[in-house]
Amino acid sequence: MEPGALRSREWTGNPSPRYWWHRLPGMDFVPAVYSDLSADEWAIVREWYAATDLSCSIGEAAVPLLSTLHGFILGSHAARIVQLGTHAGYSTLLLGFALRRMNAQRGLFTLDIDTTMCSVARSWVQRAGLGNFVNVAHGNSVDPASVNAAWEYLGGTPELIILDSSHEYGATLIELDLWFEALAPGGLMVIHDVSKFAQTFDVTGQGGVRRAFDEWRVANRGAETFLLNGETRSMDLPRPLYKDACGLGLIHKPGA
């Protein structure tokens, strides 16, 4: 068998916490977000996992969120995407591969406040040959200047905004206001870590993304909002249909 031929099935028995999805009952198959990749693209993802396992740079989203995004992007040709929170570049690579599949150049503006993480992610973008599709920017997601930088790179109003940054209640409230305003009518915000379980990620201890999402949706009744797997308090089984215990919030901006 060729190296890597099993693709993500090689992780089915991997006990590390980051491979949790691959250990769930019934998940011994290769999800579309990986099976859709060319052999060279899959080799990059595999190398990325090996390198970040070694450096312990673990903080990426997992298969349920990336599969949801993959469906929106390829199914609806989302070609102006903002991501708040790049980390080591996992979602950046997978979103970049989807954009390259559609030949949607300058399609992803991804932001991080951490210069080291920006450098790491940029090196992977370069290795993957995604320089025409992705810009890894250094900046703060609560700064209005970041909205202008995104607009300039994308050449228009973002139609898909992914929020996966500090997980802090106060900063998330600011992000929701700032980036909902920046979103195109008919566009979608996808918010990671909205569950009760993920409230523990808020280092300020003020209730995390979930509290911000709950308050924001009460104050913005004109927006259509939805919360998936929001009540989960642990990684234990059983899980609802949407398997990520971190939960997923959706905000749709009406108008188009």
Ligand X SMILES: C[S@@+](CC[C@H](N)C(=O)[O-])C[C@H]1O[C@@H](n2cnc3c(N)ncnc32)[C@H](O)[C@@H]1O
Interface with ligand X (CB under 6 A)? 59-61, 83-87, 90-91, 111-114, 117, 140-142, 164-166, 171
Q: Which residues of 58-93 are buried (b: 16+ CB within 10 A; e: fewer)?
A: eebbbbbbbbbbbebbbeeebbbbbbbbbbbbbbbb
Which residue, 52 or 232, is less far from ligand X as judged by CB?
A: 52
Which residue, 63 or 154, is less far from ligand X as judged by CB?
A: 63
Which residue, 159 or 193, is less far from ligand X as judged by CB?
A: 193
108: number of Cβ within 10 Å: 31
Which residue, 72 or 221, is less far from ligand X as judged by CB?
A: 72
- Min. distance of Cβ 5 from ligand X in angstroms? 25
- Min. distance of Cβ 170 from ligand X in angstroms? 11
- Min. distance of Cβ 166 from ligand X in angstroms? 3
CB-facing half-sphere around the CA of 144: CA atoms within 13 A? 2
Q: For the residues of 150-175, what is the DSSP string, one character each?
A: HHHHHTS--SEEEE-S---HHHHHHH
CA distance 43 to 38: 9
- Min. distance of Cβ 235 from ligand X in angstroms? 16
Helix, strand or coil, per DSSP, at residue 75: helix
* Single-letter residue type at 42: W
- Min. distance of Cβ 188 from ligand X in angstroms? 16
Contact (Cβ atoms closer than 8 angstroms) between residue 193 and residue 201? yes
Rounded to the nearest 10 degrees, how much is the dihedral formed by the CA atoms of 193, 199, 205, 211?
80
Which residue, 113 or 212, is less far from ligand X as judged by CB?
A: 113
